[in-house]
């Protein structure tokens, strides 16, 4: 399911528990970090694996470290790279921050 609005994503997680979420740092209305923090603060969503995508990994490194996020991909990326990460996160083969 593709949801591009972070507020709608939060609302959707009240009804559907996704296996994995892929978030961009830059989202309309709130940052990907803010959405991530809100997901982690809710018992229903705190265990959902999240993969970040970003154009500026080095620029956001401190924010990733602060949250214990070790896995993210930098744009431009290969679609199969994303697919591989999502599969590993969904099966528990990668640690979830």
Is the domain spanning 28-91 CATH 3.90.1150.10? The answer is no
pLDDT value of position 33? 96
pLDDT value of position 97? 57
pTM of the model: 0.87
Question: Which residue would you say has higher pLDDT here, 92 or 64?
Answer: 64
Give the residue extent of every domain in the chain: 28-91
Percent of the chain scoring above 90 in pLDDT: 77
Q: Tens digits of per-residue pLDDT, 28-73?
A: 999 999 999 999 999 999 999 999 999 988 899 999 999 988 889 9
Place of tokens 């982690």: 40
Which residues lie closer than 8 Å to 2 by C-beta, 6 or more apart? none
C-alpha distances in angstroms, 28 versus 47, 51, 62?
Answer: 24, 18, 22
């Amino acid at each position: 399911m593709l949801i591009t609005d972070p507020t709608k994503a939060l609302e959707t997680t009240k009804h559907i528990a996704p296996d994995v979420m892929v978030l961009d740092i830059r989202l309309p209305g709130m940052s990907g970090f803010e959405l991530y923090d809100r997901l982690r603060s809710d018992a229903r969503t705190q265990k959902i694996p999240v993969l970040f995508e970003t154009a500026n990994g080095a620029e956001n490194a401190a924010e990733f470290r602060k949250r214990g996020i070790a896995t993210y991909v930098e744009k431009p990326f290969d679609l199969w790279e994303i697919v591989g990460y999502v599969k590993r996160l969904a099966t528990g083969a990668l640690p979830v921050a």
